[in-house]
Structure 1
């Protein structure tokens, strides 16, 4: 049976919309929404009048749980739960529940467990403080010594999970080294959750990854080749959201650090959002990328969902992004509009070049493996000549340089 909840959030339409989407994605039925401009009052988070209104809603509408769309302290959660006799779920806990629901891979599950333990550690320290001050003896049923044991258990679990994730990061590092050695460029999709990253990924790769209106359906990094060229990979990553705490970003480090090593970052923006909301989500996403150490010059802004808006709206948004002095392109992952322009911008960023090589028949046996390799990671047209082959190749600079080194070595070692 779906649990009935009342949602407490801020009185802004887009914030209410996002909070409802979070609650719905977590599997709750939002029966009512209570709003207040300031949700950080000392005792309950709410003012006295709003608390009384909340008590009435909980009783009259048979509410099972209360979702508080803000980070609240353990003391506030305790005080609210005591008055309402209902479990209180704050914004961070709600996001963790969604992560848990959508985690499919071993890595994603480990990252979520790590985030959960860090969430608990922050609140366990608050419990200890309350115990020592004598404000809440036996808070949540934990005695003074039991709480200390509890904190140590959490710390040991965090250490254990970190070790497992370090091994996964090392495996990723090996995979990156192999990719870099082959000179294969990597493009990574990023952006606010729900911007259409996975739809764009499917369009560019021919994949059929599940697309959903729900939030945070992508928790793992999926990497495939771009259909337009054999020599470029693209990865889809976890989406961003406002007020995501640093410990959650840190917990997903092994996934998000793929962005740091990408040659190009596609920051996907839902252009159909109200302009103010679009700007807020863009700034949130850009700030997270900067926190991860991403070079701004490697970013292309992808204004997605062009098919849902008017030309006037496009012009308004384009004017804003011209002022941001970042490369941008308008696309539709549904119709394919603008995708060719996007791919040309990607090629320009990764430094693709077009070159021609005349290969004498006598050295082809010496570089046959290199030719097969080049064919895998480039666009190549072969024309037979009288004394050899003409290769017309489009590829990244690193790939071309590596092939040229093998070609020069073969030419030096050919017998006269």
Structure 2
């Protein structure tokens, strides 16, 4: 993000504003392909930047140099004013052979305040991304559906509006054009346009949310049950979704390759639906996360939620990611405190959350790492975890069985008897109805024509079958 220079600074005619908004403002953030760009990374203190750099690499951006400054972050400009000016001078004086000659982007490893963003941008004079704007640019690159683009645009405008307000504050403090009268500054016009665009996008999002809610309501009325997949970004949600459903979805070893919800049926089970959705990441601001609340609702309001985590992560990294997932789901989105008494699987609690933790990528972890991963899950108060590998298939059958037990309890044995006088419905019709209502795992026919089926199905579906075929079926 580049911002408008203060009035005292001349602005070349070919150097437009680059702040989000409409009304004639050039949108630097509208660029979706950042492959091949070169950036400087500013880091304050001794912070681990590996995840941040992984996000940058996902977008094809090269970090030319990481510049560090010890001490606490400056509330006005992140780096100290003198050090920041040194960076600006070296960048401006870089000759063609200098490593910084191709740098067209500055990254700062923090969720910056509007004041910091404005001051850094005005000093260095290059496009500037903090952690939030890096995520938003990544989201913009990966947003493929109307729903995802709407959510990303809302989050982007909410973030950029704070910068516009800071710019307006700096440029209109004290005596100014229009002060005390009816004058309106250019920034006020831009801010008004941003507000109008946000209002239109939120109305569109409400329509999309209502449509999603109606689709969920219709699925519930039809007797379908839903399994939601949540977890830290790149935990393997899309890979597991593809394995369980057989449905093709984007599966990449990239952060945030999924931004919208994908719903598909679990294989061999017409009544079990799977919902794959966006991953979490640490320290996402509330306003940004809230824009995706409608997308997350598909997985969070499911009958069973699978919490995925990478078993190959070191214990401290696994703990951080699980804590992030727990915090984002329950403490921020639901507003519920989480402690040892949290009703993870208490079916007697009307607000219970039926949940199963799944440790993915177990083929990349040895026995000691798996033991540590299970201990970490237990230490955070989650239910006992199941381990799976979407690559080798290890643990998938056990996970499928656990899903069915969570949703249906125990399977039912249903015997379908032939009609006594030969005038009733054919056995095949009744068997077809049972296949439509549940997941059949065995099917046998005896010499008398009776068909015996082992079926996983909900209590409501079983009662419907009994009412429809009361004298033709026997349930054990």
* Aligned partner of 1:378 among 439, 449, 452: 439
* Aligned partner of 1:160 among 185, 200, 206: 200
TM-score normalised according to structure 2 size: 0.77
The CA deviation at 1:5 is 0.3
Distance 1:382 1:27, change over 3 A: same
2:359 equivalent to 1:299? no
Contact kept? 1:367, 1:407, Cα under 8 Å:
no
Instruction: Considering fraction of residues, name the structure with more helix.
Output: 1
TM-score normalised according to structure 1 size: 0.87
Contact kept? 1:353, 1:397, Cα under 8 Å:
no
The CA deviation at 1:242 is 1.1
Corresponding residue of 1:241: 281
2:40 equivalent to 1:6? yes
Distance 1:134 1:42, change over 3 A: farther
* Aligned partner of 1:401 among 443, 447, 463: 463
2:365 equivalent to 1:309? yes
Distance 1:168 1:29, change over 3 A: same
Corresponding residue of 2:78: 45
2:86 equivalent to 1:29? no
2:298 equivalent to 1:258? yes
The CA deviation at 1:83 is 2.4
Contact kept? 2:388, 2:396, Cα under 8 Å:
yes
Helix, strand or coil at the partner of 1:46: coil
Helix, strand or coil at the partner of 2:410: strand
* Aligned partner of 1:275 among 315, 320, 337: 315
The CA deviation string for residues 47-75 of structure 1, in whole angstroms up to 9 with x for no partner, is 35653663466345222110112222333
2:365 equivalent to 1:329? no
2:147 equivalent to 1:147? no
Please list every run of 5 or more consecutive structure 1 residues that lacks an aligned counterpart in the other structure: 412-416
Corresponding residue of 1:347: 404
Helix, strand or coil at the partner of 1:259: helix
Contact kept? 1:131, 1:137, Cα under 8 Å:
no
Please list every run of 5 or more consecutive structure 2 residues that lacks an aligned counterpart in the other structure: 1-34, 337-342, 346-353
Helix, strand or coil at the partner of 1:361: coil
The CA deviation string for residues 178-232 of structure 1, in whole angstroms up to 9 with x for no partner, is 2111222211111111111111222222234232222111112111222264432
RMSD: 2.9
Corresponding residue of 2:249: 209
The CA deviation string for residues 80-138 of structure 1, in whole angstroms up to 9 with x for no partner, is 22322222111111111111111111111111111122112222222333344249999
Distance 1:364 1:169 in 2: 46
